[in-house]
A and B are shown apart, each in its own frame.
Chain A
């Protein structure tokens, strides 16, 4: 099928670390202009394979052919670089205080005599590079002032500088919102057209299917599956990754809802949540004209969906009325402030683009916003909003933050310390530590949540992402929290751990907990939630019950603040 020689051909790659066989005879190839998606659970060997490609580690056996030539030795990052193999790192490796141009040319600055930096030439070189790749970035801009997506572009641009042939991307979208991902994919497609090979590693399957040409699945250091993207589907790939039938990937169990446990009234937390003025109510005829196209344009093509083309008249009429908010107000009618209720056993998904206020909603509920206003009642009791997390924890709240390494865990401290940190009072009243009872409690929690760690005394930073996340969960379960605020609970964790987290959510719901889950993964939101709150620019755009929440509607609300039919025909 490929007339041109393969860009990269790896055959029989093995790599052993001590007793662990990280790679066992893996064959892996990438053609020019191809996006090869590399999938596998954590520890399947993806990182090792990438490291063998970038020269960070050398394979024990196996051959690597480059552009159809003789086998090459990639024994150093320098060698990989000279071949044109470039890695875009998951953790952004940029100097925030330097300009875009300075970052792109870092380590290869154009110089004049005496080794002085030629700033003009540097800006010009960066400018040309940005332009050829169609990145709308100012070379003089300070990287620290850019958005996460723009920084990602700088990172890619840096990797593309001078003769890149193969681009390796490891979880490039973990810090991006939906629209930013869309932009990234446009860029990747352009690069692909110019004959670059791309290896794409991600935990987000939908993305992989949107951008990939071919899927390669690793499991336990072996290649277990390979197929063109158009000939496979997510269920097959997931089965191959875990090597067992997962049954339902989102094992949501129906739960009978109980009493109202959480009442949120006119919550606002400047600057990002609930502070915008209500949108003007559009006059029916004002929306009709050309609105359709505008919305299409604004919405672009969501990456895992066909264009929502079915709109038309056929759908407009049968569309349900805009959903009511918790207290019966129409969206926007009560100002921008957020109002909703949650009942025992309810899992509420919170959707929205980055910067929509979805994380602020959780942190404001948890008392972390000193300027928050509004009323929050938990089980009928008023909760002081600005008195810090302690008050929220006492009322039974628990917050799993978006970035567990930066704001969730004390990485160098033992698992035990991390589990009991929020609730030492539960074990002892006085100022002294509880000693043995604490160890027992930590052991119980690690067993209950199936946290795989050598012991409760191991540093939590040494555990895998999934087990770290379960440690944060253990902290709140140990604290007895039953109003759980989860911000991206499955980000960057392997499929097996994801399913464990979902099961746990089910268990908690069955026991009468309330779960608010912010997620960038639409299938996860739709799969696990009883209801979905959709935020748009700090405003509660919609509150949809599970049955009414189609991916198209949720996405449209998130991207435009309006229902999917609203552009076609005025509702009501």
Chain B
């Protein structure tokens, strides 16, 4: 079953790539793939954090706003207070981690359901971003910082490396650490995990903290890509991310999901958008396809489940 589950997004991705490659000569160029990694880095980087969160049986709706907040805080520090690039980067990731920690504490200490808790921080983070930036973009981030989006260490685009680093980090956590094992156990049955001596609150808080930090990192890449901190950026990212994770085979009820799945799910969405753009498909229509994609993927998954 796992095999079939993994196969479906992989096969869809392959077919989609073949189709676009046949229709557009530009699709398979290195340039286009660098563009994809640059433009959709947010989806995969946040998707890694969201994989952790969703496997633990939670959800984080605040990531889109956290992208904006982290970007704005970093841009403000660098542009208006002459902070060096490294400080901006640390600040952005720190802001994301702090937002995640707030989510985790609200969920574990005050027992607010994750959906509501992160809906609240979605609004709070957005409001803070707008207030810090006074409603306008903060332009002119330094080149050293913009290298996050345009740098080519080892000849590879920096966003691609950041995606790889986050994916490896989360995959390592999930597969090779006790923490990851506890995340799966909590997602599958939190009460059973608690009775087995797992510190459910601590693990849950860490999950949201990591998810927030990765959203912060994604916010930095976005800011670097545009050269400015945008307080209205990142809108609806949370929905794209959930789509990617779920298409990748995770279950919103927790206990199931993997980094490979999310990579495939995220790439599927990225390629679909990119290829549709190359072919000149109306962006309005793209939303329709992606909507169909998530419904189809989950419907298929349910069918598979019933057969078992």
Contact = CB atoms under 8 A, between A and B. Distances in A.
Contacts of B185: 410, 413, 417, 421
Given A368-B195, A389-B195, A389-B197, A410 B255 contact: yes
A432 B195 CA distance: 22
A508 interface: no
Contacts of A389: 194-197
Q: 10 shortest A-B CB distances, which residue pairs?
A: A410-B188, A422-B196, A390-B197, A393-B197, A407-B191, A421-B196, A410-B189, A412-B255, A389-B197, A410-B185
Nearest to A461: B188
B222 interface: no
Contact of A412 (B188, B196, B199): B188
B193 interface: yes
A407 B195 contact: yes
Contacts of A412: 188, 255-256
A411 B185 CA distance: 9
B178 A432 contact: yes
26 contacts: A388-B194, A392-B197, A393-B197, A406-B191, A407-B191, A407-B195, A408-B195, A410-B193, A410-B255, A411-B189, A412-B188, A412-B255, A413-B184, A413-B185, A421-B192, A421-B193, A421-B196, A422-B196, A422-B197, A424-B178, A431-B178, A432-B176, A432-B177, A432-B178, A433-B180, A475-B196
A156 interface: no
A477 interface: no
Interface in B171-212: 175-181, 184-185, 188-189, 191-199
Contacts of B178: 424, 428, 431-433
A143 interface: no
Nearest to A399: B195
B249 to A, nearest CB: 13
Contacts of A432: 176-178
A229 interface: no
Interface string A373-409: 0000000000000001110110000010100001111
Contacts of A428: 178
Contacts of B181: 417, 421, 424, 433
Nearest to A404: B192
Nearest to A401: B195
A16 B175 CA distance: 40
Contacts of B198: 421
Interface residues of B, number: 22
Contacts of B176: 432-433
A411 B180 CA distance: 17
Given A389-B194, A421-B181, 18 more contacts: A388-B194, A389-B197, A390-B197, A407-B191, A407-B195, A409-B192, A410-B193, A410-B255, A412-B188, A412-B256, A413-B185, A417-B181, A424-B181, A431-B177, A431-B179, A432-B176, A433-B176, A433-B180
Contacts of A409: 189, 192
Nearest to B198: A421
Nearest to A405: B189
Interface in B242-263: 255-256
B210 to A, nearest CB: 14
A424 B193 CA distance: 12
Contact of B184 (A390, A410, A422, A475): A410
A342 B191 CA distance: 28
A412 B179 CA distance: 18
A407 B175 CA distance: 24
B149 to A, nearest CB: 33
B179 A411 contact: no
A310 to B, nearest CB: 44
